[in-house]
Amino acid sequence: MGTHRHATQNVVAYGHAAMFCSLQCAHARCEKNKTVVDPSSLQKLTSLRAEADEANARADELETQVKQLEAEHTTKDHELLSLEIRVKNLEEMLEKTENQLRETSAKFNEADLKAEQSEREVTSLEQKLAEKEEKYEELQTKFTSSQAELDELSRQFEDL
């Protein structure tokens, strides 16, 4: 018999037990005095015994159910705790990942700005190079023309 019976079940079981005890005492007095017990009393006694047994069996069933539900509750508590820990770990991972994403985005933006600045510098240097090449060609043309003039003057000077 279990120790976790509900109060109403205990009252029913003890009520039946008290009536049963009372009838047993009456039966014992009758036995002692050698008097005959009324058959309806015996039937009532048997009926009360059966009811008490049924109440005790039902109380045992309910106690088993309570233990099972308590075990399920404990299991669910452990599952809940495990899930709470998992959620906490995932939230920490998410926060860490978000921080890494912010840092990476900032570095990307910085690199993108540097790339744009470098492209502008390359464009500027290409333009300066084109201007210098153009000036070089002009000077080359002038040099060639001056050289030809000098050669012509030199020949003329030799002819004199």
The per-residue pLDDT string of the chain (160 residues; one tens digit each, 9 = 90 and over) reads 444 444 445 544 555 555 555 555 555 554 555 566 688 888 999 999 999 999 999 999 999 999 999 999 999 999 999 999 999 999 999 999 999 999 999 999 999 999 999 999 999 999 999 999 999 999 999 999 999 999 999 999 888 7
Q: Are 40 and 23 in contact (CB under 8 A)?
A: no
pTM across the whole model? 0.47
Compute the half-sphere exposure of residue 33: CA atoms within 13 Å on the CB side of its CA.
Answer: 9
Region at 90 (left for phi over 0; alpha for psi -120 to 50; beta for the rest): alpha
Please state the domain extents for the chain. Answer: 7-159
Shortest CA distance to 1 belongs to which of 70, 72, 58? Answer: 58
